Amino acid sequence: MKRGVFISIEGPDGSGKSTQIKNIRQFFKDKGIDIIFTREPGGTPIGERIRSIILDRDCAEMDDMTEAMLYAAARAQHVAQVIRPALLAGKIVICDRFVDSSIAYQGYGRGLGQAVKTINDFAIAGCMPHVTFLLKMDPKEYTVGMILRVTEGSLAPVDCAEDGSCDRVSTCATAMLWKKISEAVNEVVDHTTLADLLEWQQDKEDYCQQIELNKGSWI
């Protein structure tokens, strides 16, 4: 039986995953090769329902471990229903995000550490990609807004500031206030890069070091 191939593509939002996946899709199409494209979180009807729970603003109080286990549950269904059957049928499977994303965002981002790998090892039961392509970006290309939206979701202080969904938005006296606050926050985080934070941190450390050196000269 022909062996299938499992490929995952990882990288932060804005790193070009969608563009590269589009190029890969076209390449295999031109070659007449049958492939399966899928994504996470989601990839199955059950996985999409789990995804909607994770992204639901009404679930903002969700515990970090609960979130990690929901991602793993969606992945277990994804492997069982889509990925493993396709591989057994000898097909090429290309997945936008897989376990590496959970290790990055829940393991490191949420501080859950090794526990994330442990629950995902159980969820995928050995079904790891044969190769993973990691798309990187220069620190100057990462904005704080990009990072916060991946880890925290929407930055709007209230729902109506983002989508105007409130029935009272047209008469609410504070609607414009929340909108302006939201715009101000977005302006700052979308124009502050990871490189800026690293530079500010270095400046702070240099300043503190200089203070310590000056203290020594006063004695």
Domain annotation for the chain: domains and CATH numbers:
5-134 (3.40.50.300), 139-218 (no CATH)
pLDDT in tens, 16-53: 778 788 888 888 887 787 789 999 989 999 999 999 99
pLDDT for 219 beyond 60? no
CA–CA gap between residue 98 and residue 6 (Å, rounded): 11
With 0.75 as the threshold, say if the pTM is over it.
no
pLDDT in tens, 53-92: 998 888 888 999 999 999 999 999 999 999 999 999 989 8
* Measured distance between the N- and C-terminal CA atoms of the chain, rounded to whole angstroms: 79
Phi, psi values for residue 32, rounded to 5°: 70, 30
Residues making up the chain, counted from first to last: 219
**Sequential DSSP letters for 85-129:** HHHHTT-EEEEES-HHHHIIIIIIISS-THHHHHHHHHHHTT---
